[in-house]
């Protein structure tokens, strides 16, 4: 029951699959897009551009919006620039190139934001949230992807040490987020787990 995407988006999905670029799972992004249709944000901050798939999905659904998106991987942001140029939406999407933990001043220049979307290095989610939530409008939303990490957050024993450490960090973030004094949060078991946080 997922709606058809245009040719460019389908090309991007194929590219991501072939080159093992992580993009938001289709059920998760469709859920996020419905929330954005309701919210109708004018300004969106995205932490983690990858190849620009989510940014384009958001700007197609919210044509009045302006998106600022952060990416540190040169190969990925170069691909994002190419796809965004093909879309004709380059005037609405600004890519800030570099580590999101080091680009606060550039992000601040373009804020405040109606929506912040976090989909980058999972072990840094708390730092991303703390760093950029100060640039969220009073009635804004923060959407965080991958918070259930393929269901591994429910596993009691994980043999792989690297994955075990990542799951611990995600679990710690989830616990911190769900008890945050300034936000109401719900975690939706859709896609790879999507957290929706709204200022109290």
Binding residue positions for S-adenosyl-L-methionine: 24, 54, 71, 99-100, 119
The DSSP secondary structure of 106-148, one letter per residue, reads HHHHH--EEEEEE-S-GGGHHHHHHHHGGGEEEEEEEEEE-SS
Binding positions for Mg(2+): 119, 145-146
Task: Read off the tokens for 110.
Answer: 């373009």
Binding positions: 24, 54, 71, 99-100, 119, 145-146
**Rounded distance between C-alpha atoms, residue 195 and residue 66, angstroms:** 22
Is residue 187 within 8 A of residue 170, CB to CB? The reply is no
**Rounded distance between C-alpha atoms, residue 134 and residue 108, angstroms:** 9
Name, in order, each residue with C-beta under 8 angstroms of 131's C-beta and a sequence gap of 6 or more: 100, 101, 104
């Amino acid at each position: 029951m997922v709606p058809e995407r245009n040719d460019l988006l389908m090309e991007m999905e194929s590219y991501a699959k072939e080159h093992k670029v992580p993009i938001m799972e289709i059920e998760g992004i469709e859920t996020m897009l419905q929330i954005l249709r309701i919210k109708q944000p004018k300004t969106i901050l995205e932490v983690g551009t990858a190849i620009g798939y989510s940014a384009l999905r958001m700007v197609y659904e919210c044509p009045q919006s302006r998106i600022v998106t952060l990416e540190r991987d040169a190969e990925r942001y170069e691909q994002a620039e190419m796809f965004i140029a093909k879309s004709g939406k380059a005037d609405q999407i600004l890519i800030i190139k570099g580590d999101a933990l080091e680009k606060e001043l550039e992000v601040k220049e373009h804020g405040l934001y109606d929506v912040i979307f976090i989909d980058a290095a999972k072990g840094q989610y708390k730092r991303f949230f703390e760093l950029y939530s100060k640039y969220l409008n009073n009635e804004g939303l923060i959407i965080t992807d991958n918070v259930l990490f393929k269901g591994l957050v429910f596993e009691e024993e994980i043999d792989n040490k690297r994955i075990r450490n990542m799951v611990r960090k995600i679990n710690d973030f989830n616990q911190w987020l769900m008890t945050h004094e300034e936000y109401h949060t719900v975690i939706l078991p859709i896609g790879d787990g999507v957290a929706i946080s709204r200022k109290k």
